[in-house]
Structure 1
Amino acid sequence: MYHIKTFNKISPVGLNKFDPECYAVGDDEQNEDGILVRSAKLHDYAFPENLLAIARAGVGVNNIPLDRCSETGIAVFNTPGANANAVKELVLCAMLMGSRDIVGGIEWVRSQVAAGVDVTTVVEKGKSAFVGPEIYKKTLGVIGLGAIGSLVANVALSLGMDVYGYDPFLSVDAALRLDRHIHVVKDINELYKRADYITIHIHFTDKTKGMIDAKAIGAMKRGVRFINLARGEIVDDEAMLAALDTGKVAAYLTDFPNNRIVQAPHVIAMPHLGASTPESEQNCAAMAVEELRDYLENGNIRNSVNLPAVSMERSGVMRMCVIHKNIPAMLASITTLLSKDGVNVENLSNKSKGDYAYTMVDLGTRVDESVIEDVRKLANVIRVRVIE
Structure 2
Amino acid sequence: MAPKVLISDKLSPAAVQIFKDRGIDVDFQPDVGKDKDKLAEIIGNYDGLAIRSATRATEKIIAAATKLKVIGRAGIGTDNIDKDAASKKGIIVMNTPFGNMITTAEHAIAMMFAVARQIPEASASTHAGKWEKSKFMGVELTGKTLGVIGAGNIGGIVCDRARGLKMKVVAYDPFLGEEKAKKMGVEKVELDALLTRADFITLHVPFTDQTANILSAEAIAKMKPGVRIINCARGGLVDEEALADALKSGHVAGAAFDVFSQEPATQNPLFNLPNVVCTPHLGAATSEAQENVALQVAEQMSDYLLTGAVSNALNMPSVTAEEAIVMGPWLKLSGHLGAFIGQMTDEPIKAINILYDGSVAEMNLSALNCGVVAGIMKKANPDVNMVSAPVIAQERGISISTTNQSKSGVFDGYIKVTVVTDKRERSVAGTVFSDGKPRFIQIKGIQIDAEVGAHMLYTTNEDVPGIIGALGQTMGENGVNIANFTLGRAVAQGEAIALLYVDDQVPAPVIKKLEATGMFTQVKPLMFDVA
The alpha carbon displacement at 1:175 in A equals 4.5
Q: Give deviations 1:28-58, integer Å, cap 9, x for gaps.
A: 7853222110021121314433322211011
The alpha carbon displacement at 1:13 in A equals 2.8
> Which residue, 65, 68, 75 being the options, matches 2:82?
65
Which residue in the other structure is 1:137 paired with?
143
Q: Give deviations 1:179-214, integer Å, cap 9, x for gaps.
A: 5312233x1222222211111111122332222111
Contact 1:5 1:32 in 2 (8 A): yes
The answer as to 2:32 corresponding to 1:24 is: no
> Which residue, 210, 223, 228 being the options, matches 1:225?
228
**CA spacing shift, 1:321–1:4, aligned 2, 3 Å:** farther
SS in 2 for 1:61: coil
The alpha carbon displacement at 1:300 in A equals 4.2
Contact 1:154 1:179 in 2 (8 A): no
Q: Name the aligned partner's letter for residue 131 of structure 1.
A: M
Deviates more, 1:151-160 or 1:203-212: 203-212
Deviates more, 1:288-297 or 1:134-143: 288-297
Which residue in the other structure is 1:259 paired with?
267
Task: Choose between structure 1 and 2 for higher RCO, CA contacts under 8 A separated by at least 6 residues.
Answer: 1
Which residue in the other structure is 2:419 paired with?
none
Which residue in the other structure is 2:109 paired with?
92
Contact 1:299 1:321 in 2 (8 A): no
The answer as to 2:187 corresponding to 1:183 is: yes
**CA spacing shift, 1:190–1:302, aligned 2, 3 Å:** farther
When normalised by structure 2's length, the TM-score is 0.55
Deviates more, 1:202-211 or 1:267-276: 202-211
Which residue in the other structure is 2:245 paired with?
242
The answer as to 2:41 corresponding to 1:35 is: no
Residues 1-388 of structure 1 aligned to structure 2 (within 5 Å): 1-18=2-19, 20=21, 22-27=23-28, 31-39=45-53, 40-43=55-58, 44-45=60-61, 46-111=63-128, 113=129, 123=131, 126-170=132-176, 175=180, 179-185=183-189, 187-256=190-259, 257-260=265-268, 261-308=270-317, 310-311=318-319, 319=322, 321-322=324-325, 348=364, 351=368, 352=371
Counterpart Cα distance in 1 of 2:286 and 2:333:
46
Counterpart Cα distance in 1 of 2:295 and 2:22:
19
The alpha carbon displacement at 1:134 in A equals 0.7
**CA spacing shift, 1:94–1:33, aligned 2, 3 Å:** same
Contact 2:228 2:253 in 1 (8 A): yes
**CA spacing shift, 1:175–1:298, aligned 2, 3 Å:** farther
Gaps of 5+ in 1: 114-118, 313-317, 330-345, 359-377, 381-388
Contact 1:94 1:253 in 2 (8 A): yes
Q: Name the aligned partner's letter for residue 49 of structure 1.
A: T
Gaps of 5+ in 2: 30-42, 260-264, 335-361, 379-384, 387-434, 438-531
Contact 2:176 2:188 in 1 (8 A): no
Counterpart Cα distance in 1 of 2:332 and 2:102:
40
The alpha carbon displacement at 1:12 in A equals 2.4
SS in 2 for 1:218: helix
SS in 2 for 1:76: strand
Q: Give deviations 1:122-178, integer Å, cap 9, x for gaps.
A: x3xx20110111101111111112221111110110111111122223499x959x8
**CA spacing shift, 1:104–1:152, aligned 2, 3 Å:** same
The alpha carbon displacement at 1:21 in A equals 5.3
SS in 2 for 1:16: helix
When normalised by structure 1's length, the TM-score is 0.74
Calculate percent identity across the aligned residue pairs: 35
Contact 1:80 1:147 in 2 (8 A): no
Which residue in the other structure is 2:444 paired with?
none
**CA spacing shift, 1:170–1:22, aligned 2, 3 Å:** farther
Contact 2:145 2:200 in 1 (8 A): yes
Contact 2:4 2:24 in 1 (8 A): yes
SS in 2 for 1:305: coil
